[in-house]
Amino acid sequence: MTYLPRRITGISRSILCSCQCLPRGGALLLGVPAAYSMAFFPGKRTRGTLLWMLSTRMLPPVGVLVPVYLIAKSTHLLDTVIGLAIINMLTNLPIIVWMLYTFFKEVPVPILEAGRMDGANRWQEISIVLLPLALPGIASTALLSLILCWNEAFWSLNLTSSNAAPLASFIASFSSPEGLFFAKLSAASTLAVAPILIFGWFSQKQLVRGLTFGAVK
pLDDT given for residue 70 in this prediction: 92
Question: pLDDT tens for residues 89-133?
Answer: 888 888 889 888 988 988 888 888 888 888 888 888 888 888 888
Query: Residue 216: is its pLDDT beyond 50?
Result: no
Full-model pTM: 0.76
Question: pLDDT tens for residues 62-78?
Answer: 888 999 999 988 998 88
Query: Residue 188: is its pLDDT beyond 60?
Result: yes
Query: Residue 18: is its pLDDT beyond 70?
Result: no
| Domains in the chain: ranges and CATH | 4-211 (1.10.3720.10)
Q: What is the DSSP string of the chain?
A: -TTHHHHHHHHHHHHHHHHIIIIITTHHHHHHHHHHHHHHS--TTHHHHHHHHHHGGGS-GGGGHHHHHHHHHHTT-TT-HHHHHHHHHHHHHHHHHHHHHHHHHTS-HHHHHHHHHTT--HHHIIIIIIHHHTHHHHHHHHHHHHHHHHH--HHHHHH-SSSS--HHHHHHTTEETTEE-HHHHHHHHHHHHHHHHHHHHHTHHHHHHHHTTTT--
